[in-house]
Amino acid sequence: MKADAYKIVDDVYWVGVLDWDIRDYHGYTLNGTTYNCYLVFGEDKVALIDNVYPGKSEQFWGRIKDAFEKEGREFKIDVVIQNHIENDHSGSLSEVVAKFPDVEVYCSKKAEPGLKNHLPELADFEFNTVKTGDSLDIGGKTFQFVNAPMLHWPDSMFTMLMEEGILFSNDAFGQHICLSERLDKDVDPVILTEAARKYYANLITLSSPMVGRKIEELAKLGLVDILKMIAPCHGQIFTDPSFIIDLYTKWSTGTYEGTKITFIYDTMHHSTQRMAHAMAEGVMSEGVEVKMYFMHDDDKSDVVTDVLDSKAIFVG
Ligand SMILES: Cc1cc2nc3c(=O)[nH]c(=O)nc-3n(C[C@H](O)[C@H](O)[C@H](O)COP(=O)(O)O)c2cc1C
Ligand SMILES: [Fe+2]
Ligand SMILES: [Fe+2]
C-alpha cells in the first residue's frame, strides 16, 4: 500500500498506522486510534521504534518504504527498539525479523520472555536487553533507555533520542484519537486534553504513584532539560511536552480546580433516577458542576473519565 511517512525532524519519521475504524478496545470505546512507530536514520544504522498489530502492517510498510525513498537509503532496518510487549506495538516484530534476519532487537529484561511468549516464532531469537542508563549509538544518533515499569506494564520502557530531545514513551502520554494530523499543535487543545484524559483515566490511573516519580527520575537523568518532544505510541506527538506533563502531574496527584460531582446510577422503575436528578438539582443550585451516568445505556470508559477529576461520586 502506498502511504506517506511523516517527517518529524531531520532523520526522524513517523511510520505508524491509522486505525480509523476501531470502536472498542477491551471495553474502552473509541473513535479510532493510531499505532505510532518511528524510524530514525543514523549515519551507520537505521532504527525502528516499536511496530504494530499483527494484520495491521500494510500502512506501516508503505510508510517505511516511503521514508527510505525520501532519505535515498538502502531499504534495511538494522535495529528495532521494542519499548513494550503488548501486541498493538509488537505484533509485527516477526515480519520485521523475517525481512531483515540480522536485525538487532533491544527491549527491557522483563519484555524478553513476554515477546517470546507472544511471538513463539521468535522463541530462539536473541534479544538485546537494556536498562536505565544504557545507551545505543547508530551513528550521530544516540538512544538512552529508561525502564518505566507499570507505565503501564511491568516491561514498559522509554527511549530518549538524545540529539533531538525526543522521548519515545510508548503507551504513556498517549491518546486514543485518529486524526489526519500528527502533531499536538494541529489539534484543538480541548479535543487533545479530552482524549488524553480518557486515556489516562482508563489506562494510567492505577499507576498514578509512578507518574510523579518517573518525571522526577527523568529530571535527575538530565532528560527533562533536553526534552523537546514526547512521541507516544497512540495519538498526537507533543511538540510542547509541558502540556502533557502538566496534565499528568495534575491527574496523578488529584489536583483539580473544578467542583464536579458525578452521579452513576441504574434504575428499573425510575425511583433511583428521580433521586439522582433531585440530588443533582440540589448541588447545582450551589454552583457545582454535575455529570450524570445512567448505566443502562452509558459507557463505562466515559464514566471512569469523569470519575478521574470529580470531587465526589454518588452511586445508586
Ligand atoms: C440492573 C438491575 C438489576 C436488578 N435486579 C433485581 C433482582 O434481581 N431482583 C429484584 O427484586 N429486583 C431487581 N432490580 C430492581 C431493583 O430492586 C429496583 O430497581 C430498586 O428497588 C430501585 O428502584 P427503581 O428501579 O425504581 O430505581 C434490579 C434493577 C436493576 C436496575
Ligand atoms: Fe500497552
Ligand atoms: Fe498501546
Regarding the beta carbon of 208 and ligand 1, being less than 6 Å apart is answered no
Atom of ligand 1 lying closest to residue 266 CA: 31
Write down the CATH superfamily of domain 261-315: Flavodoxin domain (3.40.50.360)
Distance from Cα 268 to the centre of ligand 2, integer Å: 37
Q: CA 49 to CA 18: how far, in whole Å? A: 16
Which of 266, 268, 275, 279 for a ligand 1 pocket mutation test, highest count of atoms within 8 Å of Cβ? 268
106-128 exposure pattern, b = at least 16 Cβ within 10 A, e = fewer: bbbebbbebbbebbeebeebebe
Q: Where are the domains of the chain?
A: 6-253, 261-315
**What H or E segment, with its residue span, contains residue 304?**
helix 300-308
> Which-ligand-closest: CA of 204?
2
How would you write the pLDDT of the chain (316 residues) with one tens digit per residue?
999 999 999 999 999 999 999 999 888 999 999 999 999 999 999 999 999 998 999 999 999 999 999 999 999 999 999 999 999 999 999 999 999 999 999 999 999 999 999 999 999 999 999 999 999 999 999 999 999 999 999 999 999 999 999 999 999 999 999 999 999 999 999 999 999 999 999 999 999 999 999 999 999 999 999 999 999 999 999 999 999 999 999 999 998 889 999 999 999 999 999 999 999 999 999 999 999 999 999 999 999 999 999 999 999 9
Q: What is the pLDDT of residues 189-198, one digit of tens each?
A: 999 999 999 9
Residue 205 exposure: Cα atoms within 13 Å on the Cβ side? 13
Cα separation, 177 vs 46, in Å, equals 28
Residue 130, Ramachandran bin (φ over 0: left; ψ between -120 and 50: alpha; else beta):
beta
**Which CATH class, in words, describes the domain spanning 6-253?**
alpha beta
Q: How far apart are CA 166 and CA 163, in angstroms?
A: 8
23 CB near ligand 1 (under 6 Å): no
Answer whether 269 contacts ligand 1 (Cβ < 6 A): yes
Q: What is the 3-state secondary structure (H, E, C) of 280-292?
A: HHHHHCCCCCEEE
Q: Say if ligand 1 is within 6 A of residue 272 CB.
A: yes
Catalytic residues: 26, 84, 86, 88, 152, 171, 199, 234
> At residue 196, what is the residue type?
A
Q: Which ligand is nearest to the CA of 174?
A: 3
Angle between helix axes 241-253 and 189-199 (nearest 10 degrees) is: 40
